[in-house]
Structure 1
Amino acid sequence: MTEPAIHVTSEIGPLKTVILKRPQAEIENITPDTMEQLLFDDIPYLPIAQAEHDDFAQVLRDHGTKVLYMNELAAQALTDPQIKAAFLRQMLQESGFNKGIVYEQLYDYLLNLSEQAMVDKLIAGVRKKELNMEKLTLRDLAEDRANPFLINPMPNSYFTRDPAAAIGDGLSINHMTFAARQRESLFMQYIIQYNPRFKGQNVPVWRDRNHQSHIEGGDELVLSDHVLAIGLSQRTTASAIEDIAGNLFKNSAYDTVLAISIPHNHAMMHLDTVFTMINYDQFTVHPAILNDNAQLDIYILTPGVNGTINISYRNDLKNVLKEVLHQSSIDLLPTGGGDAVVAPREQWNDGSNTLAIAPGEVVTYDRNYVSNELLRQHGIIVHEVRSSELSRGRGGPRCMSMPIVRDDL
């Protein structure tokens, strides 16, 4: 039986195929001066980060998951010279170059690389010294002298969860919040259109990247074959949630979207950094998103008449989950056991960012040992992966993976 191009109807169905991105030269192209702009708090040590990522990929393979790599899929999508050229023109435009000497040099330099080398170079970044300095103008040389790059690196690209998210048999290709990451979803646009695995499959795009309002995959959680949870967060706006909900209600079996409001800050940038589904009736949750009465703001979106959307308000997370998932009880497992010191420390290191590979079976970072032990006490099978360097990017196993095929429950 041929595997579908995209099929994800839950967060916990056995994981069959996933897209990863192994950290490469882009990680070593972060500097102390550019860390904040590139959304990093530290600079990972690349050889260890790669070894840890390889370990992560192998754990997935060992449990029956096919691993695909985003940069390889992108290169395979660009074998037609005209498509390669069109992609490069758009990437240069989104990198700030439309015409002129620098544009021409960048275009000629990159187009003459192989498809794989071009993709990897765009992700790694292009330094000024790689071009012919004699042909650069005074403005080119003098502008932003502190930055050695003409095309900035994309070090966040190993977090493949965010640029696009599979929902049912389709996906969202996301307009992301910060300039440092917005170019990343262009790769997925071309992969879906032109990679042989996806080309001609008529994969629905529930929301494309051509918007002003933003949404990111870390905020999109597929709870069932008809219920989606989306974080109302630093990285995802209310208008984007309404937009994707309307498209899903009109064109798919999805009839319920939970917009879950979380604090808008760097530590809790996405819903999946504070809340993930790990079993039919079990979830991780960071206590800091709940008030003193264990409540938070939840807006339930359902289809109205004539394409409108009905919105109701609730604040009891357990009861909402019981209702929409038809469960008699819900087990919320607090990050770090809810301890006032351990919980924020392990959440900072993505203790809540679990990746389910089957119901009740997850991949986590080894450094979050308190949270991991609590999961085991509640009957969850936990596969730990090394995390000393990968965690410096502020993303865990769920952030580093884009599931595209899961078995139905």
Structure 2
Amino acid sequence: MLQLNIKDETSRLRAVILGTAESNGPTPSVEDCYDPKSIEHVLAGTYPKEADMVLEIDAVAKVFEKYDVQVFRPQVINSCNQIFSRDISFVIEDKIIRANILPNREAEIEAIRYVWNQIDRKNRIILPPECHVEGGDVIPWNDYIFIGTYSGEDYPELITARTNMDAVIAIQELFPHKTVKSFELRKSNTNAKENALHLDCCFQPIGKGKAIIHKNGFLIEREYEWLVNFFGKSNVFEITKDEMYNMYSNIFSISEEVIISEKSFIRLNTWLRQEGFIVEEVPYSEISKQEGLLRCSTMPLIRE
């Protein structure tokens, strides 16, 4: 049996689900894209090729191997995009919570069924159907659970709005001893630079009490300011609109000291090293064309 344990984003990682780009399927049509950035690349003829994405994910797998992390991979489904394992489920404490995701992604859940079957049944949570949530919006942080949401009246029209207030309430009920803090995110179906697809696309806490943040990803300035004050201004690395678009906040912590980051994130990686982090650089720019990066394609199961 797997003894799940996730209380934060930075404790030493021991087990993780890492997505796969194998048999990723053909370039989708614009109608079949889930986000504005993918649409951009489909229209420009620059949508990523499977072979390139396989190499990028393999580079991450090698880093996990180096740090002795147990890695689970989804069973490969023919012609299906299974890169973003964070979308389909997430772990808080000893519970795995199935995301109620876009309906045409159900098969992705089945591909990690063998992992679910290793978890005590009482710790497998499926939220009611009205609760929409994806793992990229959920950031456990010690006594807090930070959740990105969108409660505008146009929620049903926004394919980029993935987590609703019903889910926020349900998660608060599941973890009554924690403070659940929700943040309204800026959404756009058409402009990737004005769209925070998930909370981890504009914010992520990292080790040593620091955080990466993009102000414009938050609809309500007061909520952004709360986060800056929570971590302390000197501990926060502010990223620009272009850096958010390139997914600077979507890196991944193996521990308090070790971070996997995209090799082209020069300003961020330089700062991280100045702050005493070990930065494991990988190529991930092809995968990022689908508006997801390292946190999106990893789903931690056990941290120490």
What TM-score range do you get, normalising by the shorter chain?
A: 0.7 to 0.9
Residue 202 of structure 1 pairs with residue 121 of structure 2: yes
Q: Residues of 2 paired with 1:169 and 1:330: CA distance?
A: 33
Match of 1:98 in 2: none
State the shift of 1:37 in Å: 5.6
Confirm or deny: 8 A CA contact 1:165 1:217 kept in the other structure.
Answer: yes
291, 297, 300: which one aligns with 2:223: 297
Q: Distance in 2 between matches of 1:369 and 1:282?
A: 18
Report what 2:54 is aligned to.
50
Amino acid across the alignment from 1:223: W
Residue 19 of structure 1: SS of its match in structure 2? Answer: strand
The answer to whether the Cα contact below 8 Å between 1:289 and 1:296 also exists between their aligned partners in 2 is no
Identity of paired residues, percent? 23
Contact 1:228 1:256 in 2 (8 A): yes
SS for the counterpart of 2:196 is coil
The number of aligned residues is 282
Q: CA separation of 1:167/1:66 partners in 2, compared to 1, >3 Å: closer, same or farther?
A: same
Judging changes above 3 Å, is the alpha-carbon distance between structure 1 residues 239 and 37 closer, same or farther for their aligned structure 2 residues? closer
- Secondary structure of the equivalent of 1:245? helix
Name which of 331, 344, 348 aligns with 2:235: 331
Residues 222 and 230 (structure 1 numbering): CA distance in 2 closer, same or farther, change over 3 Å? same
Q: CA deviation at 1:49?
A: 1.1
Gaps of 5+ in 2: 42-46, 151-160
Give matches, 1:265-344, under 5 Å: 265=188, 267-289=195-217, 295-297=221-223, 315-321=225-231, 331-335=235-239, 343-344=240-241
CA distance in 1, matches of 2:83, 2:77: 12
Are 2:98 and 2:127, in contact at CA under 8 Å, matched by a contact in 1?
yes
Aligned to 1:120, the other structure's residue is in SS state coil
Aligned to 1:232: 149
In structure 1, runs of 5+ residues without a counterpart are: 72-118, 125-153, 299-314, 323-328, 336-342
TM-score, with structure 2 as normaliser: 0.83
Superposition pairs of residues 93-242 of structure 1, within 5 angstroms? 120-121=77-78, 124=79, 154-155=80-81, 157-176=82-101, 178-188=102-112, 190-191=113-114, 195=117, 197-198=118-119, 201-206=120-125, 208-224=126-142, 226-233=143-150, 234-242=161-169
Compared CA separation, residues 280 and 246, structure 1 to 2 (3 A)? farther
CA displacement at 1:47 relative to structure 2: 1.1
- Please state how far the C-alpha of 1:318 moved relative to its aligned partner: 3.2
Secondary structure class of the residue paired with 2:15: strand
TM score, norm. by length of structure 1? 0.63
CA distance in structure 2 between the aligned counterparts of 1:349 and 1:19, rounded to whole angstroms: 23
Q: CA deviation at 1:209?
A: 4.9
RMSD of aligned alpha carbons: 2.5
Answer yes or no: is 1:263 the counterpart of 2:205: no
Compute the displacement of 1:282 (Å): 0.3
Structure 1 residue 54: deviation in Å?
0.4
SS state at 1:277 partner: strand
Kept after mapping to 2: 8 A contact 1:6/1:166:
yes
Query: Which residue is equivalent to 1:8?
Result: 6
Relative contact order higher in (CA < 8 Å, ≥ 6 apart)? 2
Distance 1:246 1:271 in 2: 21
| Paired residue type of 1:273 | C
Structure 2 counterpart of 1:245: 172
Task: Report the CA distance between 1:347 and its aligned residue.
Answer: 1.4
Residue deviations 1:238-258, cap 9 Å, x none?
A: 111011111221xxxx42111
Bigger Rg over Cα: 1
Partners of 1:295 and 1:317 within 8 A in 2 = no
Q: What is the CA deviation profile of residues 299-332 of structure 1, one whole-angstrom value per residue up to 9, with x for unaligned ones? A: xxxxxxxxxxxxxxxx52233457xxxxxx8611
Q: Partner letter of residue 240 of structure 1?
A: A
